[in-house]
Amino acid sequence: MKFGINTYLFSSPFTNKSVSYFPMFKEWGFDFVEIALEEPSNIDPHYIRSELDKHGLACRSVCAATGPGRDLRGNRKEQITSLDYVRSLIDIAPILGSQLVAGPIYSSVGRAGLEEEKVKGQQWEMVVTHLRELCDYAAQRQVKIAIEPLNRYETDFINTCQQALQLIQDVNRDSLYIHLDTFHMNLEEKDPAAAIIKADKKLALLHASGSDRGTPGGDQINWDRIFYALDKIDYEGDVVIESFTPDVKVIAKAASIWRQVEPSKESIAVDGLAFLRSLSL
């Protein structure tokens, strides 16, 4: 099991200048960086890769940012924009050294409403069709896609592991996996550990975030059961700290971070990593 840090904690949007954080991530003991890439045009992926190599880090996953305008179930323009964006991430990932593109790529984050069953069914088929296309594109480049269930306030489409697994079954592509997040599971799953066990070999990524979006371990999540479940399925994937503070303004607004829940960004990273490593021993 390897442990990484999502760049959202320190930088948004991620640009070539964001490599300034790499020495710090390495010093703190992270195995890799998960790059949250809002705009592919903001970076030179070859330069980012050279800086990762320089500091002895890897990029093992690329995190999609599906804000307004990127929506596989939206209007035609939004669908095309989203498809183009995800394809760009799939193209960039191998250059960065990653074989995984993850996140809630099925819909725009923040789109949440009570839809009629007929409309939901139409949206579902639309997303299935688009994900098949994206998965085929990813498979040709030896990249996997992992879809992330979000809590009810951030999406009305995929909230639970079971819903994600149903979508994966309907898409029916080997390159499609699931990406679970402890914060979202704490809100939506009856039993987060049982959700992990249900995901089993389809689990490609776990985001570790406190129940208040703060430091893993300094919250009410039953982390012993989370790691018991990971052990139960012989999980050999990655665990990424994804937490937020008000310091990164764009993400703070999107994730509704209105107060300082921890002393600092650094404490989230350092203390969180130490706690997670202690559970994996």
pLDDT, one tens digit for every residue, the chain (281 residues) = 999 999 999 998 999 999 999 999 999 999 999 999 999 999 999 999 999 999 999 999 999 999 999 999 999 999 999 999 999 999 999 999 999 999 999 999 999 999 999 999 999 999 999 999 999 999 999 999 999 999 999 999 999 999 999 999 999 999 999 999 999 999 999 999 999 999 999 999 999 999 999 999 999 999 999 999 999 999 999 999 998 767 766 676 777 777 878 789 999 999 999 999 999 87
Residue 1: its pLDDT value, please? 92
Judge whether 50 and 82 are in contact, CB under 8 Å: no
Degrees, nearest 5: CA angle 272-185-30 = 25
Encoded tokens for 235: 């999980």
**For residues 172 and 135, what is the distance between their CA atoms, to the nearest angstrom?**
9
Q: In 3-state terms, what secondary structure has residue 226?
A: helix
Name the CA dihedral angle for 114, 116, 121, 124, rounded to a multiple of 10 degrees: -20
Residue owning tokens 């703190």:
28
**For residues 112 and 277, what is the distance between their CA atoms, to the nearest angstrom?**
35
**For residues 148 and 254, what is the distance between their CA atoms, to the nearest angstrom?**
16
**For residues 30 and 57, what is the distance between their CA atoms, to the nearest angstrom?**
8
The sign of the CA dihedral 161, 163, 169, 174 is negative
**For residues 132 and 129, what is the distance between their CA atoms, to the nearest angstrom?**
5
Domain harbouring 88, CATH code:
3.20.20.150
Judge whether 5 and 57 are in contact, CB under 8 Å: no
Residue 86: its pLDDT value, please? 98
How many domains, the chain?
Answer: 1
The boundaries of the domain holding residue 102 are 2-280
**For residues 187 and 49, what is the distance between their CA atoms, to the nearest angstrom?**
36
**For residues 276 and 255, what is the distance between their CA atoms, to the nearest angstrom?**
23
In the chain, % helix, strand, coil (3-state, to 5) comes to 50, 15, 35
DSSP count for the chain of H helices, then E strands:
10, 8
